[in-house]
Chains A and B, each alone.
Chain A
């Protein structure tokens, strides 16, 4: 079974540019989560999809971040325009609906904004 995949693995962009991160969850997992860790800080929850619907987006930092999950499959996280403080590692995770609701994490995308 393929795990959660994320693309790209690393992205370097200039301040003010746009970047789109992609996450492909494990097939059949309705729940998809986005997290990020900025330099020196803890991993923080961003948002959670159930299929194509946003269940909880309380962790999204501001309106420069837009997440979508078209058709309930893969998800994208767009940052527009990127700021220096957006640099960090963005993780995606997915889970099925069976207890203990274990979340399977992808390897992350390292975003560097210069």
Chain B
């Protein structure tokens, strides 16, 4: 199962765009790239998922190059409430309608006023 590598921590300021890059060199054909967010004393929360190219939803964008060995989570105009740990995960997808998540260390994002 593919492991991911991402920065341990990042700092930003309110209103800025934040890009967190993750490497997953051993990603397999059936794997998807998935990002989760975790606040203190809470469980992780799904942000976005993609297989290739670009995916965008109401909170983030995910950029995946053609070789799929890396990906970049983009958070537009962050606020103080975006301070959290962000996990880049490789999700092994099964045809039965479920997946298996492999967590790494995550990136601790601190947003400053």
Contact = CB atoms under 8 A, between A and B. Distances in A.
Chain B contact-residue range equals 20 to 34
Given A101-B91, A101-B98, A44 B103 contact: yes
A97 interface: yes
A43 B103 contact: yes
Nearest to B3: A42
Contacts of A44: 103
A42 B104 contact: yes
Contacts of A100: 32, 34, 49, 99
B42 interface: yes
Interface of B: 32, 34, 41-46, 49, 87, 91, 93, 96-106
Interface residues of A, number: 29
A43 B99 CA distance: 16
Nearest to A101: B99
Interface string A1-24: 000100000000000000000000
Given A42-B104, A42-B105, A100-B32, A105 B44 contact: yes
Contact of B97 (A35, A45, A97): A97
Nearest to A43: B103
13 contacts: A30-B97, A42-B105, A45-B103, A91-B44, A97-B96, A97-B97, A99-B97, A101-B98, A103-B99, A104-B46, A105-B43, A106-B43, A107-B43
A56 B103 contact: no
